[in-house]
Chains A and B, each alone.
Chain A
Amino acid sequence: MPTTPPRTIREASPLHWAIRAAGVAAIAFVAIYLASTAKPSTLGDITEACTLAIAAVGLNLLFGFNGQISIGHSTFAGLAAFTAGYTVNSWEWNPYVSLAVGLVLCFLLGLALGLPALRLKGPYLALVTLAVAFVWPTVAAKFLDQKVKASTLKGTKLEPLTWTGLTVKGKDSRLDKAIFLYWAAIVILVIAYVIVRNLRKSRIGRALVAVRDNETAAAVMGVNLKLTKTVTFGISAAIAGASGWITAARLATMDETTFTILSSIKYLLALFLGGAATLVGPIVGAFAYFFLDDYLKDHAPGWDWLPGPLSKGPVASFLLGVLVIAFVFVAPFGVVGFVKDQVRKVFVIAPRPLRPRATTAEQAMHTEDPGPTTDGPEQGES
């Protein structure tokens, strides 16, 4: 316990707004600074981290806020990616239209998968989604011909919209393309974040959390369980699909092994590393996971004394797994949960007082998300 009591900042007070604005400005500055100075490979890495972050943000809506686990989100990313590749290459669709169509398909498949989720919980739901993730590569292998599978958006008419002022031709085309995809990924990530944030902060978000914490109580309070759960699954799936579209734009080839169960596990790990049920957690986690993985791949030692296969090369994946396990013990609510705990010792943000005309029922629903820690409210996007 801190010796001095933490300073209290009122939510939505000028100071609180200033902190939030400074945070957003800092992030925007870093993003613009990187776009103008970084090498194509760095931009490519950030783009890849963003695709992971987008999927993790989608999964967070489903698992973090609504309590439904999915190990099948790689399927949605794959569906949107192949939809884009196929429609653009075979039917010469506009790549942006293909994105929209991919998202709709993902939403529908998500709805369908949400149906068993109405009856299944916890490990049983995990198993159903696991099966979907396993089936997807086989379906892709069986029903898509080689041309379809190999089709991506790379080398197609995917070009920046003219009003953005970006071009991808000429001497620095590699850099220009990297910058374009970088911005595309960031814009989609921001949109996904804003969607999830606004959902979370609204009446629907409170319903989601209520369902997660106690379905019976939520139903008693008038939450439509079926609608809430299936639609959440659909939206979450569509967000994961957007990440698949970026992948299709980034890669020159895809096949059935591009979106396997391993991708789903990565989404989950990113979510936990950053902190489930926090708004920025999945984004922080995705960047942390991606760059940790990248670092370990370049610097992991080759340990000869390890048994079997591990001794044959650097032990990057093994170390990564062990590190994540260790981290989960130290900070069960991820990086964001850990940082929040530390920040809370210095200052706390007091929630806006309820409007006087709020009814008792609304007050009950207003009870803040116990989320990562049970002792405090959300802290905006700081």
Chain B
Amino acid sequence: MIRKRYQLVALAAAGALVIVSCGSDEKSSDTTTAAAVTTAAPTATTTAETSGESTETTTADTTAESTGDTTESSTEATEETTEATEAETTVATDAPADAWTVDTDSCSDPEAAEAPIEGTLKIGSAQPLSGTPAVAFAPVKDGFELYLKYANDNGLLEGITLESSIKDDQYDATQTPGVVDSLIDDGVNIFAGIIGTPNNLAVRDTLNEECIPQLLNLTGAPDWGNDVASYPWTTGALVPYDIEARIYATTLQGLIGDGGTVGMFTVNSEFGKTYADAFKAAAEEAGLEIVAEQTIEPAETAPPTNQVGALAAEKPDAIMAVPLGAQCPTFLKELVNAKAANAGWEPVVFQTNTCASRLLISLLAADSGNGVYTSTNLIDPVDPANAANPGVKTLVDAYTAAGLKGDLATTAVGWTVAEDTVTILKKAQESGTLSRKSIIEAARNLTFTPSLALPGVEYKMNGEDDGYSFQSLQVEQWDQAANLFTYIGTPDTSSES
């Protein structure tokens, strides 16, 4: 009897595990899938392109800063022009003498951080490769490895062979430290493209203590750029969520006018709260009125019928939605139902670009994603109109040759993160020694235009003055019939610093 009981309970538990692995959405994503990542270009096009903004203030001498006289330090800051006049093979650089440098004294092993890297350079990452989030994210790894292969085949880094080791953390932040630890023990030189805000936070301290670059985190949390002094070794790849929220508020004002009413639907997590606060502040500035706020728990998998009903009751002119992962399509479907039940109510809908992959806005949402606004900073490789673009062509050729099947736009995200990484490595190599120190210094003193970036979008970091890589976004609208995004206006570059 007791045997039977144990067997039953064990079966139930194991069954639950299988079900979790197949369906439930315990931890959906708050990182961007396809749309939001901007990245670098195949080296052919990675010319220095600072010409868009021809001058750039480099960081003041660190000695000047240490005097505590900030005014003086800013006047001493060298106004330097980084023209895009350098040769094709080089990347735009600031003069080395003034460039931001990292202090390795506080590293647990300063010598290792400055030791030259020769022969093989290992890039590590932790990404969801199994479990529910893997559905949306798996192509990122494909794209990343695809570009590294492209870089090796074309000898983009002289004398260096790139190797990648991407391990599975199932989008579970409690697993990320273990994954990263084992990668460090395996001799990984740098990390790039770790997916997920909590996942990156979980290893940020370790990597900064060890002085191992944690480049291009695939998340838009403002954390990656607002405290360069404390976390010099960590950088992000996505446009910060607060900038995204502000761009939406500005665009919304243009669509519904001053005094327009907005209903908000946000996920009740750090991601959602950051987003909601930023949007509220921006909405107030834009003269919009928030008339309803509804939230959804991050782990919730049921359709948000009540929340959408409450929003519909207020009949706002627009809706700003920040759901997580699989909640994006369920929200859109519920909204269509609510619109059907409230004839004449046709709100303008904005959804965070973490929901902007074709999987979430179209495949899973049926037709309900039609007309929804979101944003991107990457050329859509799926759009036939872009087929002739050299960056897209390189990607598609490699994608086809490798026989990949995952979502092309999401693959492009991984591809571009790898392209950014290789561009950073190239600049570090040009500085003389390729070391962990020179790599993070290259990452933070770099301006270039990735091959798949939309016009006006560029990777630009400048020491402590500009800790964010990408800060421009193109607002776009999903057109279900054409299965394409339509761009609204031109990319908003006003947040660039």
Contacts and interface: CB of A to CB of B under 8 A. Distances in A.
Contact of A276 (B6, B11, B406): B6
B204 to A, nearest CB: 7
B326 to A, nearest CB: 10
A308 B203 CA distance: 32
Contacts of A355: none
Given A69-B9, A257-B198, A269-B13, A314 B269 contact: no
Q: Which of A276, A312, A332 lies at the interface centre, i.e. has the most chain B CB atoms within 10 A of its CB?
A: A312
B108 A171 contact: yes
Contacts of B185: 39-42
Interface string B21-35: 111001100000000
A255 B201 CA distance: 11
B307 to A, nearest CB: 15
A252 B202 contact: yes
A374 B241 CA distance: 61
B7 A332 contact: yes
A73 interface: no
A320 B198 contact: no
Interface string B108-135: 1100000000000000000011111011
A48 to B, nearest CB: 6
Q: Which of B14, B170, B299 lies at the interface centre, i.e. has the most chain A CB atoms within 10 A of its CB?
A: B14
Given A272-B6, A308-B22, A137 B299 contact: yes
- Chain B contact residues, majority secondary structure: helix
B143 to A, nearest CB: 14
A141 B20 CA distance: 21
Contacts, number: 186
Given A269-B17, A312-B406, A321-B21, A333 B3 contact: yes
Interface in B126-161: 128-132, 134-135, 138
B201 to A, nearest CB: 4
Given A48-B178, A269-B17, A297 B138 contact: no
A40 B181 CA distance: 7
Contacts of B273: 146
B140 to A, nearest CB: 11
B182 interface: yes
A283 interface: no
A170 interface: yes
B205 interface: yes
Interface residues of A, number: 68
B202 A253 contact: yes
Q: Which of A146, A251, A315 lies at the interface centre, i.e. has the most chain B CB atoms within 10 A of its CB?
A: A251
Given A39-B185, A309-B23, A312-B406, A321 B17 contact: yes
Contact of B22 (A172, A309, A320): A309
A138 interface: yes
B178 A45 contact: yes
Contact of A322 (B18, B178, B203, B298): B18
Contacts of A254: 174
A222 to B, nearest CB: 23
A328 B11 contact: yes
B401 to A, nearest CB: 18
Interface stretch (A97-105, A108-116, A260-268, A340-348): A260-268
Given A257-B298, A325-B11, 10 more contacts: A41-B181, A137-B297, A174-B181, A251-B177, A253-B173, A253-B198, A272-B9, A314-B134, A314-B168, A317-B170
11 contacts: A141-B298, A251-B174, A252-B177, A253-B198, A257-B173, A257-B298, A272-B14, A297-B129, A297-B170, A309-B22, A310-B22
Interface of A: 39-42, 44-45, 48, 63, 69, 137-138, 141-142, 146, 149-150, 154-155, 170-174, 178, 213, 247, 250-258, 260-262, 265, 268-269, 272, 276-277, 297-298, 300, 304, 308-310, 312-318, 320-322, 324-325, 328-329, 332-333, 370
Interface of B: 2-3, 6-7, 9-11, 13-18, 20-23, 26-27, 108-109, 128-132, 134-135, 138, 167-168, 170, 173-174, 177-178, 181-185, 198, 201-206, 209-210, 268-270, 273, 297-299, 405-406
